[in-house]
Structure 1
């Protein structure tokens, strides 16, 4: 029997009338068979799940007719509603819940979804399956099951290895770079953990305590004298990395950032400012596609420009001349470039603005790394988190598409020719301290 045939047979057995002990054993066998399945056969297995374990259209039609025909009898209406809900739930969700009886199944299903997501661009018919897994994993990884911990240099070596492996924003070459981010007194790192994933974090955030708001990533990443926590006035969240692609779309980052701000603020109440120092990953691609003459000239001058700190430590007339134009273009991109659904085109901007942060300050040059140049010509942005304003700004963004901007960022939209468009969506101005 082929591995694919064993998988299909295991699914059939799991959906039969078996007890919990049998579910555990069959589910375990199914997951082992899936691990043995060649990568080029996964799409066949996923297609089988979509086609064999969907909804029964006749049951849905019957349940809907019964529900729509209920009269004033509340008990009858409740029963009809329950049947309608049950009828519209794909059998796949029941199958995954039964698989989840197996040891280590929750983590295994996140990995399975990661494999599935890699296939979606070429197999869009599998999106219903991804939706089912997203729904279930969102329930299994909700806030009630998560545990936040501060990670230190004394944390287990396996955990430290995970941090090096999964750092996505500012990659680390090894333990020496990790030590710089963990050991000094002006550095903090926090992570969410879940019982199903053990010592492997779901997501982690890196924090630098600074005097004044950092506008350049280089001093944060390079070794240097530590600032005493009592002398800091700002907390800069400069990196947030997901460790499980299978949890994409499950809201973890927003929860982690807000809890980190609460915990750091409680431990260090003298801190007055909480900001990020964030990449602008789509800025270069957007700028390279613009046809306005002043933007074409800007990218021509940026191409090949040496932005290394060594080159410009003493100041550069060329950089100083370009800076106002670069940050003005970045302000336009952050506040006005939209995707098809009307949300900010930049994925990092969508994340922070939907959390209730404001676009507070544009910085250039701020990231001279190869990745920083390729993403944004070296530009970065501070998003400011003000606990008292988060809920109001979140509601404004979700309900009305309002992009919260400091006065400094708003002013950039009108300070340079062609930087503003009369049909731009609403922005909220906020004074720059």
Structure 2
């Protein structure tokens, strides 16, 4: 951190360790008392010791001694080198599965007499003992964070070692319960939030990089809002956070939202705002990939903002289109009409050339509208579009050169999208998309989908730009 930035850091020093949660202190106390009752592990090699501790933890019946063994196991895992840790993950994946003889017996009993009691017995036999082992590992202080980190490592290793999939499936299954919406806490993050959390925003911002503490302070000014979901077991680790700009009307470009206007006048801008723009949503924990938080986050933030600022009449995103350029590149290889774009787009400075930019605009906007509404056979829907449409938003507007930063130009030739969250229509739009894949969209997007007539001025300008 530079000297210029240190003056912007909140009062608490960013390097002070976060205090442990009350549940961690409780389990640590229980583990301390249980150490006298814990079984003795004789293995000397670190990997063998970890395996023996895992076996011991699964068979342990005492709560205090179990907490002590769980803590010893997690301590042992932290001391493993990468290859030994990978070997332990394979040990978890390849062992601790259901007993096939018991499962077969329970299945035959259920088929012969399909009662609720026999179904429960079958379900009990079908659950891998590995899940119970993971639950007990979670009793260790810091166990939840360690298991989230374990899944992050396993997800990365599965690309070349699919045998780890049973472990990954069990972790995913448990996390869907442990990180249920009922356990999550929505918190507003502002400049008074502990520095340990604010540092995480800088680290985890995934859409528009935060350039240090001064930039972060601007994003937390009076005409901005930031909200995050937290879990009691990870009190200082945001799971996901959203950044919001309070503005007048729909924002069409992200650079003005990120501009360092300073705090002067921020309160007046907030009071005059009629629109909340969600301009960045960042998932923070790779180990929780596939565990959905964003749909709950946006809907709750909409309600909280409306309660705080009743003058707001519009809630919209300003979103990237990360898959558009890849889709367009493939389209230009097979579609003669789209192929006409290849030559002018090959000029790296086309966006600053007014003639080329205006010539490309009609075709790019139309193709982007098509990509977002019906990308065609075999093509995947844009992930950001799928997320917001699935949450009940409406595809409201496509913005020309909404993000001229290098990443925006690389992903989508600078185009961005407004997805509008109409509080009265969210559930209806969600049902339409979930049941029939219907992309609810505005008339402005419909107008973009209409093909231009042959010989139009737009077609002539494009031909001239390509020449």
TM-score with structure 1 setting the length? 0.89
Residue of structure 2 equivalent to 1:61: 104
User: Is this contact kept in 2: 1:147–1:194, CA < 8 A?
Assistant: yes
- 1:306 to partner: Cα distance: 3.1
Q: 1:32 aligns with which of 63, 66, 75?
A: 75
> What secondary structure, in the 3-state scheme, does the structure 1 residue paired with 2:397 have?
strand
User: Is this contact kept in 2: 1:338–1:345, CA < 8 A?
Assistant: no
> What secondary structure, in the 3-state scheme, does the structure 1 residue paired with 2:235 have?
coil
Matches within 5 A, 1:277-426: 277-290=318-331, 291=333, 292-306=335-349, 311=352, 316-337=354-375, 344-416=380-452
User: Is this contact kept in 2: 1:307–1:365, CA < 8 A?
Assistant: no
Residue of structure 1 equivalent to 2:294: 253
1:172–1:339: structure 2 CA closer, same or farther, 3 Å change rule? Answer: farther
> What secondary structure, in the 3-state scheme, does the structure 2 residue paired with 1:353 have?
helix
User: Is this contact kept in 2: 1:360–1:383, CA < 8 A?
Assistant: yes
Q: 1:148 aligns with which of 186, 195, 200?
A: 186
> What secondary structure, in the 3-state scheme, does the structure 2 residue paired with 1:136 have?
helix
Deviations 1:136-157 (A, max 9, x none): 1111111221111111112211
Residue of structure 2 equivalent to 1:199: 236
Aligned equivalents of 1:207 and 1:85: distance in 2? 45
Aligned equivalents of 2:434 and 2:166: distance in 1? 25
Establish whether residue 9 from structure 1 lines up as the match of residue 52 from structure 2.
yes
Aligned equivalents of 2:191 and 2:154: distance in 1? 35
- 1:84 to partner: Cα distance: 0.8
> What secondary structure, in the 3-state scheme, does the structure 2 residue paired with 1:279 have?
coil
Establish whether residue 233 from structure 1 lines up as the match of residue 271 from structure 2.
no
Which has the higher Rg, Structure 1 or Structure 2?
Answer: 2
Residue of structure 1 equivalent to 2:36: none
Runs (4 or more) in structure 1 with deviation over 6 Å come to: none
Aligned equivalents of 2:66 and 2:450: distance in 1? 64
**How well do the aligned residues superpose, as a CA RMSD in angstroms?**
2.0
Unaligned runs of 5+ in 2: 1-43, 455-467
Aligned equivalents of 1:417 and 1:298: distance in 2? 17
Q: 1:48 aligns with which of 69, 72, 91?
A: 91
User: Is this contact kept in 2: 1:307–1:368, CA < 8 A?
Assistant: no
1:282–1:408: structure 2 CA closer, same or farther, 3 Å change rule? Answer: same
Residue of structure 2 equivalent to 1:216: 253
Deviations 1:138-179 (A, max 9, x none): 111112211111111122111111110110000112011111
1:181–1:306: structure 2 CA closer, same or farther, 3 Å change rule? Answer: farther
Aligned equivalents of 1:161 and 1:307: distance in 2? 37
User: Is this contact kept in 2: 1:211–1:233, CA < 8 A?
Assistant: yes
Aligned equivalents of 1:69 and 1:351: distance in 2? 44
Aligned equivalents of 2:339 and 2:451: distance in 1? 18
1:413–1:233: structure 2 CA closer, same or farther, 3 Å change rule? Answer: same
- 1:337 to partner: Cα distance: 2.5
1:65–1:346: structure 2 CA closer, same or farther, 3 Å change rule? Answer: same
- 1:339 to partner: Cα distance: 8.7
Q: Which moved more, 1:389-398 or 1:207-216?
A: 389-398
TM-score with structure 2 setting the length? 0.82
- 1:307 to partner: Cα distance: 6.9
Residue of structure 2 equivalent to 1:124: 162
Unaligned runs of 5+ in 1: 72-76, 419-433
